[in-house]
Amino acid sequence: LFVPIGVLCGVSLIWATMYLARLRSSFDNRLKAAVRRREFYVEYQPVVDLKSRRWTGAEALVRWRTDNTTVRPDHFIPLAEERHLIHLITEQVISLIAEDLPRILKIDPAFRVAINLSPDDLRTQSTVEMLRSLLALEGVCPGNLEVEATERAFVEDQKISRVLEQIRSLGIQVAIDDFGIGYSSLSRIHSFRFDILKIDKTFVDTIGTEGAARGVMLPIIDIARSLDLHIVAEGVEREEQARFLQAYGIERAQGWLFSAPLSAAALSKELRERSHEAVECKE
Ligand code: C2E
Ligand code: MG
Ligand code: MG
Ligand code: MG
């Protein structure tokens, strides 16, 4: 009896492996075709200065439009990373930003766009060249760009640290994204120099839950202060959260309270309307 069961298990294991391999290669082909057909597009979620509530920048977030539906990044970025195809998406995202940014800067020359990078992106020199090409565009200065990578990317890796240093030497600030979840061993990321800490939504969510917020948020704020980092809070949905963050000296935030991610056209329209207010509020 054991022999047939063993054979059966072996056969089904082989079958499952082949099936998975087929699924993966069909994903690879779909992704490559999507890049060719330009099915990716970018939305921009405004980042506000908490004190003035001015829109000082935005985070570029990729979306995939396929078969009349929009696929969220959480559903394809992890697989693209696993298949080492993420650079194809990053290239497309950066070229889309190159189209949008000059128009946005005509409205607000100081506007800053944050770009998400994956660990693979931080291992390749071409990422530095792509950022350099953005800086070569008319009106684009290093202060108009920011780069985000999750803590996952900040593990000890010579290649990553070299690319990060090159990005920083272009004058572009680097942010640790989703700070606090996962690999939050500061000792491991301590050897990289970065400028900004983005506090993950899970922590912002604790605000308003009876003291929990202070216990969780204050240590993070202390760490940031001691390392001389700027803080951006993400996933702010309620006014109470915005007030709390501002009271603790956090400068910038993003979240549905202020705005959902917008198309470049919608962002520009909004910025144009707000630019009148900005003149009146100038300090
Ligand atoms: P992230 O970098 O942490 O981006 C913030 C995510 O939070 C976005 O999800 C945004 O739409 C969502 N969000 C913002 N405000 C709120 C809020 O108030 N409430 C709630 N519930 N959610 C909010 P999205 O667009 O689905 O992106 C998911 C993740 O995919 C991003 O997380 C980022 O890690 C990754 N991603 C997005 N675009 C790119 C890209 O161009 N390249 C790479 N490598 N990764 C990207
Ligand atoms: Mg991000
Ligand atoms: Mg984030
Ligand atoms: Mg996040």
- How confident is the model over 34-53, as pLDDT tens digits? 989 999 999 999 999 999 99
Question: Smallest Cα–Cα separation from 211: which of 243, 250, 258, 244?
Answer: 244
Q: Is the ipTM of this complex over 0.95?
A: yes
Spacing, Cα 61 to ligand 1 middle (Å): 6
Question: Smallest Cα–Cα separation from 178: which of 39, 77, 65?
Answer: 77
Res 102: pLDDT? 97
Give the atom of ligand 1 at the shortest distance from the alpha carbon of 117.
44
Region of residue 194 (phi > 0: left; psi between -120 and 50: alpha; otherwise: beta): beta
Spacing, Cα 152 to ligand 3 middle (Å): 12
Spacing, Cα 47 to ligand 4 middle (Å): 14
For residue 52 the two structure tokens come to 């003035």
Res 282: pLDDT? 43
- pLDDT per residue over 111-145, tens digit each? 999 999 999 999 999 999 999 999 999 999 999 99
- pLDDT per residue over 52-97, tens digit each? 999 999 999 999 998 889 999 999 999 999 999 999 999 999 999 9
Q: Is the pLDDT of residue 169 over 70?
A: yes
Q: How confident is the model at residue 239 (pLDDT cuts 50, 70, 90)?
A: very high
How many angstroms separate the CA atoms of 176 and 150, rounded? Answer: 5
Q: Is the pLDDT of residue 106 over 70?
A: yes
Tell me the residues surrounding ligand 2 (ion) with CB < 5 Å: 116, 148, 177
Amino acid at 117: L
- Work out the number of other CB atoms within 10 angstroms of the CB of residue 258: 17
Spacing, Cα 200 to ligand 3 middle (Å): 6
Contacts of residue 17, defined as CB under 8 A and 6 or more positions apart, other chains included, come to none
Lowest mean pLDDT among 18-27, 184-193, 233-242: 184-193
Q: Which ligand is nearest to the CA of 203?
A: 4
For ligand 1, atom 12, name the residue with the nearest CA. Answer: 235
- Element containing residue 47 per DSSP (H, E): strand 40-49
- In order, the DSSP letters of 247-260 are HTT--EE-STTT--
pLDDT averaged over every residue in the chain: 89
Which residues are bridge partners to 173 per DSSP? 146
For residue 91 the two structure tokens come to 């290239």
How many angstroms separate the CA atoms of 49 and 52, rounded? Answer: 6
For ligand 1, atom 34, name the residue with the nearest CA. Answer: 116
Give, in order, the Cα–Cα distances in Å from 228 to each of 59, 195, 204, 222, 223.
22, 8, 21, 10, 8
- pLDDT per residue over 189-221, tens digit each? 566 788 999 998 988 998 877 666 777 788 888
Q: What are phi and psi of 145, to 5 degrees?
A: -125, 155
Q: Please, are residues 132 and 170 in contact by the beta-carbon 8 Å criterion?
A: yes
Region of residue 230 (phi > 0: left; psi between -120 and 50: alpha; otherwise: beta): beta
Spacing, Cα 175 to ligand 2 middle (Å): 9
Question: Smallest Cα–Cα separation from 217: which of 192, 235, 193, 191?
Answer: 235
Pocket of ligand 1 from Cβ distances under 6 Å? 45, 61-62, 72-74, 77, 86, 93, 116-118, 177-178, 201, 234-237, 254-256, 261
Q: Please, are residues 100 and 154 in contact by the beta-carbon 8 Å criterion?
A: no
How many angstroms separate the CA atoms of 282 and 108, rounded? Answer: 14
The pTM (predicted TM-score) of the whole model is: 0.90
Q: Please, are residues 200 and 168 in contact by the beta-carbon 8 Å criterion?
A: no
**Which of 48, 55, 61, when mutated, tests ligand 1's pocket best, judged by the most ligand atoms within 8 Å of its CB?**
61
For ligand 1, atom 43, name the residue with the nearest CA. Answer: 116
How many angstroms separate the CA atoms of 190 and 162, rounded? Answer: 15
Q: Please, are residues 47 and 57 in contact by the beta-carbon 8 Å criterion?
A: yes
Residue 197 CB burial class (10 angstroms; 0-12, 13-18, ≥19): buried
